[in-house]
Structure 1
Amino acid sequence: MWQYVLRRSGQAFVVILLVTFITFLLLHNLPGGAARSALGLDATQAQIDAYNVQMGYDQPFLVQYAMYLGRLFSGDLGFSFQQNQPVVDLIVQRLPKTMVLSFLAAVVALLIAIPLGVVQATRRGQWPDYLVTSVALLAYATPLFFLGMLLIVLFSQTIPLLPPQAPQGFSVLDILADWPGLILPVVTLAIVTLAAYTRYVRSTMIDNLQENYIRTARAKGMSEGRVVIRHALRNSLFPVISLLGMYIPALFSGALVVEQLFNYPGMGLMFWQATQTRDFPILLATTTIVAIATVVGSLLADIAYAVADPRVRLSGGSE
C-alpha cells in the first residue's frame, strides 16, 4: 500500500509540474504580456521594459519558470497589481468560500442521487427508471448558466422565495449566516454532478444485484430491503468514492460559472475577474491550486476505494 501511495504521489507531482509549466507558457505568450496587464494600457515602453527587468521577465523562459517554481515552493504566489494584494491573501480569503459551496453541492447531489439510483436499479425497466433517467439526462444536458438563470427567474422573480444573489459576507461564517442566499447556488452546482452520480449508482447497483452473494442472501430469507440496502448498496458506493475525487475539476469549473452568475465571492469569481484583467499571478496560482486539488483528490479517492473494498489489490501494495 505504501509503495502504491509513494508511486502515485510521484506521478501527481509530475502532473502538477506539467500543469504549471504549460499554464506559465501559455499565459506568458499572450499578447501584451504580464507587464502590460500590471501597468495598464497607458504604460510606456520604457516603463514596460523597467518592469520586465524588475520582475525578471527579461530572462530566458526556463529561467523565469525556475524562478516561479522557487517562489511557489516558498509559499510566494506573487502579487496582484489589479487587486493590490498578495495572491496568498486573496486565496486565503476566497478558497474557504468555494470549498463550502462545493462541499454543500456534493452533499446535496449525493443525498439525492443515491436514493434515485437505488430506485432505478430496483425498478429497472419500469416507469420510475425511465422517469429518473429522462430527468437526469435533461439535467446533465442543460447548460449550467442557463439552469442558474432559470432558477433565478423562477424562485426569485416569478415566485419570490429566495434572493437572486449569493451571500456577500467576508468570512465563511458570514456566508453560512445568510443561508437563504446559498440555496440557489448550491442547488445549481449540485445538478452538475447529480446526473452522473445517479447513473453510476444505478449501473453498479444493477451489477451487484446479479451477484451470487445477493442470491445467497435472498435464499437465506433476508427481506428485500435488507438485501438491497445492506449488501447491494454498500458495494455499489465504492465507484462513487472514486468519482468524488475525479469530479473536483467539474466542481471547480461549475463553481466558476455559478459564482459569476450569483456573484458569489469565491475562487471561481476571482478567476473569472482575473481573466478579464489579465491578472497573471492570480491565474497561475488558481490553476496550480486546482491541479493540486485534482491529483490529491484522485489519490485520496483511490486509497479510500482500496480501504473500503478489501477485494481491491493494488500493484506494488500490500496484499
Structure 2
Amino acid sequence: METLLYLVRRLLQALAVILIVTIVVFCLLHALPGGPARGILGPQATAQQIAAFNHEQGLDRSLPVQYVLYLRDLVQGDLGTSYTLNEAVSRLIEQRLPKTLVLTVLSALVGLLLAVPLGMWQAVRRNKPADYVITTLSFVAYSTPVYFLGLILVMLFTQALRWFPSQAPQGDTLAQVFADPAGLVLPVVTGAASMVAVFSRYMRASTLENLSEDYVRTARAGGAGRYAVLFRHVFRNSLTPVVAMLGYYVPVLFGGALVVEQLFNYPGMGLLFWSAAQSSDYPVLLGCVLVISVATVVGSLLADVVQRVVDPRVKEVRV
C-alpha cells in the first residue's frame, strides 16, 4: 500500500509539472514578435489579414480561453503547423522522434554497459595508477564539447582510417536507419562518451560507499569471497543512485542528440529542431520543446519508480 501511494504521489506530481510546461510553452507562443499571426503570415501581412487570422484561429479571445483550447488541441495531438514546411508539427515529430529515440537509447545502453563495470573496477582498484588514468580520461571526456568530440572522431575514423562513413544513416523509416549499422557507430559513440564519463564516476563513488558498509564486512567474515560479495551484494546496491540519475539525464541525451544529429546529418528530431531554429519556425521549435520536456518528466518518473523497486527503502517524493 505504501508503495502504491508513493507511485500515485509521483504520478500526480509529474502531471502537475507537465501542466506547468504547457503553460510555459503557451506563454512562449504568445510572446513571439508580432504574435503567432505575424509569425505565420509573415512580415508583409496587413493589419486586416492579421485580424482575420486571429478571429479564425480564436486568437482574439481571452488568454484563459485560448489556453483551454490549446490544451484541447494538445490532447488531440495538434501541435500546430510548420511555417516553412507547411505540415503538421505532430506529423513531423512523429516521423523524426523514433529515429532520435533509437540514437539516444543506443547511446545510453553503450554508455551504461561501459560505465557500470568501469566504475566498479575503479572502485576495486582505488588510488591505483589505472584509477588515476581513467579518472583523468573521464574528466577530459566530460569537459570536451560534444561537437568537438564528434569532429575528432570524424577526422580519425572517416578521414584517416576510413573505417566508418561520415554521414549517419539516411531515410524516413527505422528500417532504412538499421540498414546502415556502420553509419550509426560514430553518432552513438559521440553521444555515449560523456555518459560514460559521468556514470562511471557515479558508479565508482557508489561502489566505494557500499564497500565500506557493515554488511560487506559481515559477508567477508562469513567466508564469502571478494568477488562474490562484490557482484551479489555491492553491485545491486550501487546501482540505485545510478538508476535515479539516469532519469534526470534524459534532457542531456536529447540535448546531445541535437548536436550529434546536426553534425552527422542524422534525420531525427534534433536535426528538425536545428533546421527550425535556422528558419525561425516557432511552432516546430515549441513542439520539440514540449515533447522533450514531457520526456524529461516521464524519465524522472520512471527513474523514481525503478529506484523504488530496486530499493524499497526510498520513501521521499522527489521535487
2:196 counterpart (194, 206, 223): 194
Structure 2 equivalent of residue 6 of structure 1: 8
Confirm whether residue 58 of structure 1 aligns to residue 60 of structure 2: yes
Distance change >3 Å, CA 64–CA 280, structure 1 → 2:
farther
Q: How many Å separate the matches in 1 of 2:9 and 2:105?
A: 28
Deviations 1:54-93 (A, max 9, x none): 2223333333222211111122222223222222221211
CA-to-aligned-CA distance 1:106-163 (integer Å, 9 cap, x gap): 0000111011101110011111111111101111001111111111111111221111
1:246 Cα deviation from its structure 2 partner: 0.9
State how far apart, in whole Å, the 2-side matches of 1:169 and 1:195 are: 32
Alignment of 1:96-107 (within 5 A): 96-107=98-109
Give the whole-Å Cα distance in 2 for the aligned partners of 1:135 and 1:60: 56
Q: CA deviation at 1:41?
A: 4.0
- Structure 1 letter corresponding to 2:60: D
- Say if 1:188 and 1:88 are closer, same or farther in 2 by CA, change over 3 A: same
- Is structure 2 residue 152 aligned with structure 1 residue 150? yes
Letter in 2 for 1:65: Y
Q: Which residue of 1 aligns with 2:236?
A: 234
Q: Give the TM-score normalised by structure 2.
A: 0.93
Alignment check: 8 A CA contact 1:109 1:193 kept? yes
Q: Structure 1: give runs of 5+ residues left out of the alignment.
A: none
Distance in 1 (CA, whole Å) between partners of 2:215 and 2:202 is 21
Identity %, equivalent residues: 52
Q: Which amino acid aligns with 2:121?
A: V
- The residue aligned with 2:185 is 183
Query: What is the RMSD computed on CA atoms of the aligned residues?
Result: 1.7
TM-score when scaled to structure 1? 0.93
Q: Structure 2 vs 1, CA of residues 149 and 41 (structure 1 numbering), >3 Å: closer, same or farther?
A: farther
SS in structure 2 at match of 1:200 = helix
For residues 277-304 of structure 1, the C-alpha deviation after alignment (integer angstroms, 9 at most, x for no partner) is 2223222222222122111111111111
Name which of structure 1's ranges 168-177 and 25-34 shifts more when overlaid on structure 2.
Answer: 25-34
Aligned equivalents of 1:197, 1:71: Cα separation in 2 = 39
Q: Which moved more, 1:302-311 or 1:203-212?
A: 302-311
Superposed displacement of residue 95, structure 1: 0.8
What is the alpha-carbon distance in structure 1 between the residues aligned to residue 149 and residue 185 of structure 2?
Answer: 14
User: Which residue, out of 264, 267, 280, partners 2:266?
Assistant: 264
Aligned position for 1:249: 251
1:295 paired with 2:289, answer no
Q: Does 1:18 align with 2:20?
A: yes
Distance, in Å, in 1 between the alignment partners of 2:38 and 2:162 is 45
* Matched ranges for 1:49-198 at <5 A: 49-198=51-200
- 2:232 is aligned with what amino acid? R
C-alpha change, 1:7 and 1:311, in structure 2 (3 Å) is closer
Q: Between Structure 1 and Structure 2, how many residues are aligned?
A: 315
Equivalent residue letter for 1:112: L
> 1: distance between equivalents of 2:53 and 2:280?
16
Contact 2:32 2:39 in 1 (8 A): no
Question: How far apart are the structure 1 equivalents of 2:46 and 2:154?
Answer: 45
Structure 2 unaligned regions, length at least 5: none
Corresponding residue SS for 2:69: helix
| Structure 2 match to 1:35 | 37
Distance 1:131 1:18 in 2: 44
Q: What are the Cα deviations for residues 154-180 of structure 1, in whole angstroms up to 9, with x where unaligned?
A: 111122111111111211111011111
Q: Report which stretch shifted further, 197-206 or 76-85.
A: 76-85
SS in 2 for 1:264: coil
SS at the partner of 2:169? coil
Residue aligned with 1:237, SS: helix
Q: How far 1:248 sits from its partner (Å)?
A: 0.7
Deviation at 1:271, TM superposition (A): 1.4
Deviations 1:249-286 (A, max 9, x none): 11111111111111111111111222222223222222
Corresponding letter in the other structure for 1:73: V
Tell me by how many angstroms 1:28 deviates.
2.4
Aligned 8 A contact 1:274 1:282 in 2: yes
Question: What CA distance in whole angstroms lies between the structure 1 residues aligned with 2:94 and 2:88?
Answer: 10
